[in-house]
Amino acid sequence: MYPIKKLEKLPPKREKVETLAILRQLSKSSNSLGELKGIAKTIPNQAMLINAVVLQEAKDSSEIENIITTQDELYEALTTNSKCTSEIKEVINYRSAIFLGQDMIQKQGFLRLKDIEELQNTIVENNAGIRNMPGTALKNDKTGEIVYTPPQEKNEILDLLSNFLEYYNLNQNDISPLINLAILHYQFESIHPFYDGNGRTGRILNILYLIINGLLEIPILYLSSYINENKAEYYRLLHTVNTADEWEEWILYMLKAIEETANKTIIKINLIKELLNNTIKIAQENASKIYRKELIELLFEQPYSKIDFVVNRLGVERKSGSRYLKKLEEIGILESKKIGRETIYVNTKLIEILKNR
């Protein structure tokens, strides 16, 4: 068993978090993130990006906690009234928490402790709040060995969270926000303030931090897919910081995650833009009588669509909405499928882009 080590307040020593290797990687990560911010603005309807990327993140982040779903299952659950499994419900809750956090940042530009508690409550549907009972320990799933013991007393947890929020909302040490993101993520996960949902809450805090600092305008960069692919390293490096106060490898890991994820998201956005333009062209050439820009954008906001969506968006009667979707299926833009009693129309080409990591 590893001994309990007192978690220090922020900030760590500057020389430990601004090494030459870190500053070199920082330049690459900053460039990729800047390019992503710029290219995101070229999508005519931002909701198309947000809806697609947020659902992928909800799936990937939950997968880190061994909550496994498929993209098709999630879209079906969001589109129909059919019953969903507890796993799908948890992923959808996570998605709701991301949108809640985005709304908080847009309204007030910062986060309070009660905001973080509300995010966690939305994810796990449990209002237990901050841990107030000792005995929490993180164990190896396979061996049962205790690998980390977070702060136990509620007063200490609250004190550390207050310190965390000072540095989260106001960068007091003039260190690059991307380096600070790595530091803050480590600190939140090490405080481990809740009985459940700490990892997912911490990953939402990452994207909100980028928005607070103006590095992105909308929530479209998530590190969960990178963490999933490099999960053992993620936990090893968290442990290294905790036991040895060695920050370099951890910060490099997070900066590389930002660079790689930003680059992959740029590729995905370009593919979505190309598909959008091609879809508009096909609709204009083969379904000119029903073509409307809003209709095509709806199919990219909601890759699983149905008549109700068309009626609500375009203000048409159900008969017309049905005719529009059937015509788009006829010309190869959509594919229909029966889910219970409902007919759903799927933008399959977009789904394929979203599934590819």
Closest by Cα among 288, 297, 294, 356 to 327 = 288
- What are φ and ψ of residue 130, in 5° steps? -65, 140
pLDDT at 3: 44
Domain limits, the chain? 14-262, 287-355
* Identity of residue 109: G
The gap from C-alpha 117 to its chain's centroid, in whole angstroms, comes to 17
Q: Does domain 287-355 have CATH number 1.10.10.10?
A: yes
User: What's the CA gap between 129 and 117, in Å, rounded?
Assistant: 6
- What are φ and ψ of residue 83, in 5° steps? -65, 145
**Tokens 């994207």 found at:** 207
Per-residue pLDDT of the chain (357 residues; tens, 9 = 90+): 344 568 999 999 999 999 999 999 999 999 999 999 999 998 888 888 888 888 888 888 888 888 888 888 888 888 887 778 889 999 899 999 999 999 999 999 999 999 999 999 999 998 889 999 888 888 777 787 888 889 999 999 999 999 999 999 986 678 999 999 999 999 999 999 999 999 999 999 999 999 999 999 999 998 999 999 999 999 999 999 999 999 999 999 999 999 999 999 999 999 999 999 999 999 999 999 999 999 999 999 999 999 999 999 999 999 999 999 999 999 999 999 998 889 999 999 999 998 876
Tell me the pLDDT tens digit for each residue of 236-254. 999 999 999 999 999 999 9
The gap from C-alpha 276 to its chain's centroid, in whole angstroms, comes to 23
What is the end-to-end Cα distance of the chain in Å, rounded? 37
On the 0-12 / 13-18 / 19+ scale of CB atoms within 10 A, 289 is exposed
**Tokens 């068309």 found at:** 310
Helix, strand, coil shares of the chain, percent, nearest 5, are: 65, 5, 30
Tell me the pLDDT tens digit for each residue of 102-151. 999 999 999 999 999 999 999 999 888 999 988 888 877 778 788 888 99
Spatial neighbors of 140 by CB under 8 A, at least 6 apart, are: 147
pLDDT at 2: 44
| Residue 9: Cβ within 10 Å count | 14
pLDDT at 172: 65
User: What's the CA gap between 315 and 305, in Å, rounded?
Assistant: 15
User: What's the CA gap between 340 and 326, in Å, rounded?
Assistant: 18
Alpha helices in 245-317 (DSSP H): 248-286, 293-301, 307-314
Cα–Cα distances (Å) from 6 to 151, 252, 319, 356, in that order, read: 7, 24, 66, 42
Same fold, 14-262 and 287-355: no
User: What's the CA gap between 345 and 45, in Å, rounded?
Assistant: 20
Between strands 304-305 and 342-346, the pairing is antiparallel
pLDDT at 77: 86
pLDDT at 134: 83
Cα–Cα distances (Å) from 156 to 62, 72, 160, 192, 224, in that order, read: 28, 43, 6, 12, 29
Q: Contact, 304 vs 75, CB < 8 A?
A: yes
Cα–Cα distances (Å) from 100 to 94, 168, 323, in that order, read: 10, 18, 35
Tokens of 162: 């207050």
- What are φ and ψ of residue 342, in 5° steps? -95, 150
| Residue 242: Cβ within 10 Å count | 20
Tokens of 157: 């947890």
Q: Does domain 14-262 have CATH number 1.10.3290.10?
A: yes
On the 0-12 / 13-18 / 19+ scale of CB atoms within 10 A, 24 is exposed
Q: Which residues pair with 346 in a beta bridge?
A: 304, 335
* Identity of residue 184: L
| Summary mean pLDDT of the chain | 92
Q: Contact, 58 vs 91, CB < 8 A?
A: yes
User: What's the CA gap between 93 and 233, in Å, rounded?
Assistant: 27
